[in-house]
Amino acid sequence: MENPTPSYRATPDFAAWVRALPKAETHLHLEGATPLELLAAASGLTASPPRIPAFWHPDFRYTSFDQFEALYVSDVMPFYNTAQRYHDAAKAVLATCVAQGCRYVETSFHLPGLAFAGLDGPEVLAALRAAVPPGLHVRFFGGMCHNDYAAHHALINASLDWDGLDGLDLHGPEYLPMEPWTAAIWERARAAGKFTKAHAGEFMPASYVDWVLDHLKVTRIEHGVRSIESPALVQRLISEGITLDVCPISNLKLAVQGIPTMREHPIRRLFDAGVKVTISTDDPYFFGNRLEEEYFALHQDLAFTRTELVQVARNGIEVALLDPAEKKTILAELDTFR
């Protein structure tokens, strides 16, 4: 259901323009996007409408990433105990993307979640793929934390051979030490035809983004907003063509350093410097946000013009894992927007 108190609203004219813009959502955690109705129904709560979580309020701020992660474990992960539930959630989440004018989505799920629920990876992927609506291009990523290999090495190794899996993402608490297995697995994943990305520069400083680029050799960083703290890194992102998949409302509600208000969000300075940025929702269940609102936020609080927002949308399509003909078709449509 829609958040009755969204962080951003727009005039009908601007809202219609944003909705029509062909957009990409390249940073979306499936579990963190679980629809409220599905969670309520699974808990046996059939009251309608479901109770609105406190964290949907625009003034809500998480006190720490640990608080956020604890809610992840208690509120959404227990839902994912059958392949059917992955399917049901993906179907609802992707329908929301389509309703907002999305053409391309990259969504991840927590790979060790399959082990907790005793589920088969290829079976879950088949269920997820069966949930993709016509006309939407979707890529599925397996996500894992810095310390997941010890308990889940067999699963992580096996996932490199799953045809239905498009790539890997590194997520979870950034402050956990990076272990040596990660670079080797990221390298092997690319050799197996998987796309690789990693979360960095959300809670850890710019030096950590440099480390991730040096060792994991990714070209897409999830968040990366603290890159702004290092002019040398900003130049590196530009010269090496690294894309930052930024989630402005997520950054605000998680109280990321340097972002006490949306007006101070570094996406304006990163964009102006020439860094390739995209915008996404990250975990809409936990932020009560919608992709369209991210565009409203940039327009209202960071003075992004329509032309600049077209460029942000274009960035999302340019980095999409689509074949050149599909990409060309969507980019040609974007050319008609001003």
Nearer to Zn ion, 152 or 197 (CB): 197
Q: Name the token pair of 89.
A: 């959630």
Beta pairing partners, 138: 105
Residues that bind Zn ion (CB under 5 A): 282
Nearest-approach distance from CB 241 to Zn ion, in angstroms: 21
Nearest-approach distance from CB 33 to Zn ion, in angstroms: 11
Q: Which residue is nearest to Zn ion (CB)?
A: 282
Nearer to Zn ion, 50 or 205 (CB): 205
Show contacts of 329-332: CB within 8 Å, 24+ apart. Answer: 330/22, 330/103, 330/104
- For residue 46, CA distances in Å to 36, 37, 41, 72, 264 come to 11, 9, 6, 22, 41
Nearer to Zn ion, 90 or 310 (CB): 90
CB of 245 within 8 A of CB of 221?
yes
Q: Name the token pair of 274.
A: 């020439």
Nearest-approach distance from CB 278 to Zn ion, in angstroms: 13
Nearest-approach distance from CB 174 to Zn ion, in angstroms: 10
CB of 99 within 8 A of CB of 68?
no
Nearer to Zn ion, 210 or 282 (CB): 282
Nearest-approach distance from CB 166 to Zn ion, in angstroms: 16
Nearer to Zn ion, 83 or 270 (CB): 270
Nearest-approach distance from CB 338 to Zn ion, in angstroms: 31
Of the candidates 255, 290, 259, the residue with the CA atom closest to the CA atom of residue 10:
290
Nearer to Zn ion, 25 or 282 (CB): 282
As annotated, the active-site residues are 202
